[in-house]
Structure 1
Amino acid sequence: MARGTRNSHSTRQLARLGLLTAVGLALALLERQLPPPAPLPGVRWGLANAATLAALALGGPGAGFAVWAARFFLVQAFSGGLFGPAFLVGGAGGLMAWAVMAALSRVRPLGVAGVSAAGAVAHHVGQIAAAALVTATPGVMFLLPPLLLLGPPVGLLTGVLVAVLLRRLRAAGAPADGGAVLGGAATGDPRILRPADLLPAAGAVALALLLTFGRTWSTSAAGQPTHAVVMVAGSTWRTIDLSQDAVYPLDAAGGHLVVEVSGGAVRVRESDCPDQVCVLTGWISAPGDMLVCVPYRVVIQVVGSGGGGPDAILR
């Protein structure tokens, strides 16, 4: 009888993991068809994280990791991006998000929404740090403030949706594995959104303001924008005079971009990269502004007459 109970439990676990992986895969593929909420490296709507969050709540950290890893590898395999730069950046973000959510899943004051918000912030931090390594340009880290502001609202929304789903599952008598709780669910707190759930958002805002202040300080002495530095894998490909309108084709890492200069500003006019983040960013013209194409490891940064800017400071 005990063996039958264990077999039934294992079968239920596998079925649940398979179902959540399929849901996460479908949501991830849907996300790829939607325009990103902001033209920054690796930014998504976070829908697929709902499957990881649900697995973490119902099965614990191991189940959450299994669902995330299976979904992530399948998406990358379908898109042909296995082990490329975008794979490394996305993997770093997802792994860091899972680790933070797993660590916070037993913190009683936090609800599901708070754990989700913290995971969203960690995801962006992991992705930007990996993008800085992949492009060999530490100044990419200065793209983090808008991501820190974007992450909590998206994470809170995902967390609220998952919390509502979990409440309905519990009401229907759906079992969770022994000891699998998320966000202090063992307290029996019926609220979908708790005051403590806003703490990750507050911390992200504080960090964003700190980094923004540092960036403003570093670019204040840069002077007027005079040229843009185009870097490929950390090496300078070309320095472009922003006073001269021109078009520069660029072949890098098996991909093709077209860089355009007009009216003292620069943009990526065309690119055959999958996400088109560099194209969607549009024109940049202020000292310290950057365009980043992670798949082709290209970074374009505007530099002022004083030679200042985040990249100059961080190098």
Structure 2
Amino acid sequence: MCSIDCCSNPRGKAGEKLDPSNASNRPIIPTPNGELYPYEVIQEIADFIVKGSNMRPKIGIICGSGLGSLADIIQDAKVFEYEKIPNFPVSTVEGHAGKLVVGNLEGAVVMAMQGRFHFYEGYPLAKCSMPVRVMKLCGVEYLFATNAAGGINPKYSVGDIMLMHDHVNMLGFAGNSPLQGPNDPRFGPRFPALVNSYNKELINKALEIGKQMGIEANMHVGVYSCLGGPTYETIAELKALRMMGVDAVGMSTVHEVITARHCDMKVFAFSLITNKCATEYSDKKDDEANHDEVMAVAKNRQKACCELVARLIRQIQASS
């Protein structure tokens, strides 16, 4: 690690004394991730959305790659483009429309993100998961997070749906967390527990809905892991993840779930398996994952995913 003298010296000569009265010579201290979006800024964003939609949502939905049609089934929708929401980031990934939709779905007021923010886009995790806190201050009690993922479990097929009941936070292993920096107790505790992060009651309801839809053979309950991306994983990495008990892998969701649990939201999440991960060495190009394949599979399975979400929301609303 370099010294403060080295980093603060514009000429890069360690040990050389600088004039502290000269502003250009003062060291740049980065803002801690936890302070990128203080409570007051999050509240301003939430107030903007609630006032603009004249609705206070109960359920938040994050649409994964190619699954933006989940937001298209919302009725009486008020649409906010990310770039027009004060202090809101902009998604740069194909398949992520960059819109926030607030409206009614199965009798419940929901807000859905058509496009999320990823670590590989250059955003810190605190910024990637900031919209979850916006949802909380808008009134959201339940977070539905969806993603497109690669299937590591050999029993999984392309087009299957994996309900997430746990995760392996590989980014966290590297010391990256959306909760890094000072903790604001108005959001949640300093050291939140993540055991039972994924609501068991909602998982069981979703499994029953899958039986009613006739897709139970294509549904699983498994463990998801988030890697940083944007590269797809190597064979050795995939083998290691499988040994750790991971069933599907992607580049999102985990930090959103951590943030949601920090502020005491109930979480339901699922992965659409858009490709089978190669765990053996081969020269075949067909074994290599690609974004076009992800988008194509997601498009073909949109209807089933939308129906699953809609029916689950109907049950939540009926029991409230």
Q: TM-score range by the shorter chain?
A: under 0.3
Greater fraction strand: 2
Q: TM-score, normalised by structure 1?
A: 0.27
TM-score (norm 2): 0.27
Higher RCO (C-alpha under 8 Å, 6+ residues apart) = 2
Relative to total residues, which structure has the larger helix share, 1 or 2?
1
